[in-house]
Amino acid sequence: MNAFKGTGVALITPFHDDHSIDFDSLKRLIDHVVSGGVDYLVVLGTTGEAATLTSAEKKQVLKACLEYNDGRVPVMLGIGGNNTQAVLDEIESTDFYGVAAILSVSPYYNKPSQAGIIAHYTAIADASPVPVVLYNIPGRTMSNMSAATTLKLSHHPNIIGMKEASGNLEQCMQIAAGMPKDFLLLSGDDLMTKALMSVGGSGVISVLANAFPLTFKTLTHGDHSSALEATFSLLELNSLMYLEGNPVGIKNLLLHMGIISSDQVRLPMLRASLELSNQIKAAYQK
């Protein structure tokens, strides 16, 4: 459980201009975040554009991430969806060697009942050979996991935590107040991390940590004043990251930093507009 306290970075998947995977940039990025002090990697999540990767590409990206990381930090793998059986099939066909846990998003589009969400995650947790972290992000799924649902699932022996991106601090507090002592409450919103940790959270799975791992090391492991200062330093850039969708903003920022060679994304996303790119560059240079 301690492996997933602090900062997990939701890794992007870099692409060349022709939309093929840029493995050289991926290696540079992993070296950057690991040397910068992140506690673990999260591979093939939303920020990694898993929704637009083929099954073969997902296997290639996971293999490359495990190879480039070379055991330096734990790896959490994104496996989720709105078809429970398809998720179970993916778990069955995945080689989990080197994978410490999975992150599984609450079913999107279907808008299941809370009982349906519990049944979905119970099936996944029963089938997974590694521990499961829940992921609540109503802005994407159009379905909120209630605190009561999270707390019920928290008692499953193979469910170890929740990435909470509801933006509802009261709901997060309800989870913190009732969860088992070893359950991990992780922020899914970079700017909410300090607040969430103040009520019992264990850290963050971060987008901006792709660019600023040291800032997030301070945010999650520093004292109160340094963590607050780190949070405030992200205010301007964080608001720009999502103006045209994630990971459009973070890829553009990483391009300006020279960590990746292109900010290409896959349709239906488009790379950052010139206006947004200029805004991100100016905020970064500050």
| Gap between the Cα atoms of 161 and 245, Å rounded | 26
- E runs forming strands in the chain: 6-10, 40-43, 75-78, 101-105, 132-136, 159-164, 184-187, 203-206
Q: Exactly one of 163, 194, 217, 251 is catalytic; which is it?
A: 163
Are the CB atoms for 107 and 136 separated by under 8 Å?
A: no
Residue 219's nearest CA partner among 207, 203, 235, 199 is 203
Contact 78, 42 (CB under 8 A): yes
Q: Which entry of 135, 152, 217, 251 is annotated as an active-site residue?
A: 135
Q: What helix, strand, coil percent values describe the chain, rounded to 5?
A: 50, 15, 40
How many beta carbons lie within 10 A of that of residue 92, not counting itself?
A: 10
Residue 27's region, left for phi above 0, alpha for psi from -120 to 50, else beta, is alpha
What would the two tokens of residue 180 be?
A: 């088992």
For β-strands 6-10 and 40-43, DSSP reports them as parallel
Closest CA to 253 of 228, 232, 236: 236
Residues 6+ apart with CB under 8 A from 200: 173, 176, 177, 179, 185
Helix (H, G, I), strand (E, B) or coil at 164: strand
Look up 5 and say whether it is catalytic: no
Q: Is residue 97 annotated as a catalytic residue, yes or no?
A: no
Catalytic annotation, residues:
135, 163
